[in-house]
Chain A
Amino acid sequence: KAGVTQTPRYLIKTRGQQVTLSCSPISGHRSVSWYQQTPGQGLQFLFEYFSETQRNKGNFPGRFSGRQFSNSRSEMNVSTLELGDSALYLCASSLGDHQETQYFGPGTRLLVL
């Protein structure tokens, strides 16, 4: 089976712009979670989507949003980018049932200038 894929792998944006990141889960997985990883804050949970519905949400401002499509692919959007949004954004997928293992993608590295 192909693993979790994320596109693009690297991205450079300027403050005030918006960005959309994409995640394709492992085939058959219905849950997709997003995490932000920075040197200062570490790994932080953004949100989880399951069957096109947001099931869990972390403590991030409304500028961070996401969605999931019927084929389980997910996108994450960040509007009005700030310098502090520079991070590695990781996507993870799982079957979505009781404590199924999450499998992580390689991440998208976002640099905001």
Chain B
Amino acid sequence: AQSVTQLGSHVSVSEGALVLLRCNYSSSVPPYLFWYVQYPNQGLQLLLKYTSAATLVKGINGFEAEFKKSETSFHLTKPSAHMSDAAEYFCAVSDSMYSGDMRFGAGTRLTVKP
């Protein structure tokens, strides 16, 4: 089964700075990749997903991610961090044509300093 590895369990940035959250996947075939965000005491909310239509995927709240097959990466970025971006972010992969079975990374907690 495919898996994802998130580099960095904690990332801290200043408000207005670039956000970069790293995710690498293990796959020999193009996977389906996702980024989710989880706010305290809440479920997960989809930020964006890659399903091979385009390598640069734009999501909600100004986030985007680029699929790089040569690097087996799917890093999440946002040009300018906002205080409300503080949360836990999860990268996930599915090797099923259906979306019901996803494998999640360990998560990265993003802190935004004023």
Contact = CB atoms under 8 A, between A and B. Distances in A.
A64 interface: no
Nearest to B103: A45
B104 A50 contact: no
A90 B44 contact: yes
A101 B101 contact: no
Q: How large is the interface on B (under 10, 10 to 19, 20 to 34, 35 or more residues)?
A: 20 to 34
Interface in B70-114: 90, 92, 94, 96-107
B99 A102 contact: yes
Interface in A68-112: 90, 92, 94, 96-107
B99 A99 contact: yes
Interface stretch (B11-19, B20-28, B45-53, B61-69): B45-53
Contact of B90 (A31, A43, A56): A43
Interface of A: 4, 31, 33, 35, 42-45, 48, 50, 55-56, 58, 90, 92, 94, 96-107
